Structure 1
Amino acid sequence: MILAILSSAFLALCVFAAMHDVNRLTIPNWLNLTLAGMFVPAAAVSGVPMEIIGGHAMAAGCAFLIAFGLFAFNIFGGGDAKMIPAVILWLGPNATIPFVFMMAVAGGGCALLILAVRKYMPAEALPGAIRAPFEEKAGVPYAVAITAGVFAAGGSSPFLSEILNRIGLFS
C-alpha cells in the first residue's frame, strides 16, 4: 500500500514536472530532489532485493554522468539533466533502454510540433499557460518527453509496474 502511494506520487510529480516545464521551461530543483528522494522509502518498503536496488542506483549514476555530459555540451538543460537520473533511479537498468527510446521519440515529436506551431501561428495566439515553448528561440520542454518515457517504460520497473497495471497502462 505504501509503495503504491509512493509510486503514484512519483508518477504525479513527473506529470507536474512536464506541465511546469511547458509553462516555464524549467524543472525546479526541489522537484528533482523529491523524485529521487522518494525512491529511498519506496525501496525500503518494496521487498525488492538489495542487488536490484543497487542496480537501480548504478543505472541512475550512469545516467547522471551521461546527462551532465549532455548538459555540458548544451544539449540538455540543467533540470532535464537532473530529472533523467532521478527517474532512472525508479526505472532501473531493465527499463533504461525502452525509457531512452521513448524519451527520444517523444522529444522529437515535441520538437516537431513546436517548430510547426512556430511556423504557422504566432505565440501570442496561444494560451499563456502553454505559450513559453512557442516563443521564438525558446527551448523544448523536455520533461514532457521524460515523462512519456517513464510511462512507456515503467512496466519494467519493480517499483512502478503494479501501479501502472492498476491504471490500465500495462497488463
Structure 2
Amino acid sequence: MLQAALVSFFPFLMIYSAFSDLVSMTIPNKVSLALIAGFVLFAWWTGMDLETFVWHWALFAAVLVASIALFAFGHIGGGDAKLAAATVLWLGWDHALSYLFIASLIGAALTLVMMRLRGNIIPGSVEKVEWIARLYRADSGIPYGIALGAAAIVIYPQTRWMEPVFNLALPGM
C-alpha cells in the first residue's frame, strides 16, 4: 500500500495543479496544503530521520520566501509560489536545483508557445470555450503550474520516495 501511495499521491497532485492552472489560471491552496500534509505523513511513514525532515523544511522556507518575493514583484502567481515551495519540500536539497532548472526550461518553452499562440486569431470553433479563449488573450498570464508540475514529475522518480517502490519492484538488486 505504501508503494502505491508513493507512486500516485505526489504525481496526482502535480498533474491536478497543472490542469487547474491551464483551465482556470489558479492553483488551489488545497493542492499546496495536501502536499504539505502528505509530506509530513509520508516522512513519518517511511521513517525519515529528524535531521533530514528539518532540512526539507528549511528548503521549503527558503523557496517560499524567494517565491513570495517574485510574486510581490509580479513575476509569478501566488499559486505558483506556494506550489514551488510545497514541491521542493518533497524533493529536498538533492533535487531542488534540478527541479527549478527543468521548470525554468519547460516554462520558457511554454511561454514561447503561448506567445506564438497569441499571435494567431482564435479559431471560431473554440472561441466560446472560456479557458481556451483566455490562452489566446495577450493580457492573460502564463499557466506556469504546467511547468512546475511537469518538472516535478520528471524529477520525482529520482527521489528517496521511490526507493521503497524500486526495492519492491526489483528484489535482490
Greater shift after overlay, 30-39 or 102-111? Answer: 30-39
**Pair 1:140 & 2:142 matched:** yes
For structure 1, which segment, 97-106 or 3-12, has the greater mean C-alpha deviation from structure 2 after superposition? 3-12
* 1:4–1:60 CA distance, 2 compared to 1 (3 A): farther
Q: Is contact 2:17–2:27 with CA below 8 Å preserved after alignment?
A: yes
Task: Kindly tell me the number of residue pairs found equivalent between the two proteins.
Answer: 167
Distance 1:70 1:157, change over 3 A: same
Pair 1:23-2:33 in alignment: no
Structure 2 CA distance for partners of 1:54 and 1:139, relative to 1, 3 Å: same
Q: Specify whether residues 77 and 42 from structure 1 end up closer, same or farther in structure 2 by C-alpha distance, changes over 3 A only.
A: same
Q: How far 1:122 sits from its partner (Å)? A: 1.6
Matches within 5 A, 1:150-161: 150-160=152-162
Name structure 1 gaps, 5 residues minimum.
167-171
Give the superposition deviation at 1:8.
1.2
TM-score where L is the length of structure 1:
0.87
Q: CA deviation at 1:29?
A: 1.1
Cα distance change of structure 1 residues 164 and 76 upon mapping to structure 2, 3 Å threshold: farther
Change (3 A) 1:91 1:123: farther
- CA shift, 1:158, in A, is 1.0
What are the equivalent positions in structure 2 for 1:97-108 lying under 5 Å apart?
97-108=97-108
Distance 1:96 1:52, change over 3 A: same
2:166 & 2:81 partners in 1: Cα distance? 25
Residue 162 of structure 1 and its aligned partner are, at CA, apart by 5.4
28 and 153 in structure 1: CA distance in 2 versus 1, 3 angstrom threshold: same
| Over 3 Å off, 4+ runs | 123-127, 160-166
Match for residue 77 of structure 1?
77
Rg bigger for which structure? 2
Cα distance between partner residues in 1 of 2:119 and 2:156: 35
1:2 alignment partner AA: L
Alignment RMSD (CA, Å): 2.4
Among the aligned pairs, what percent are the same residue? 28
Give TM-score scaled by structure 2 length.
Answer: 0.86
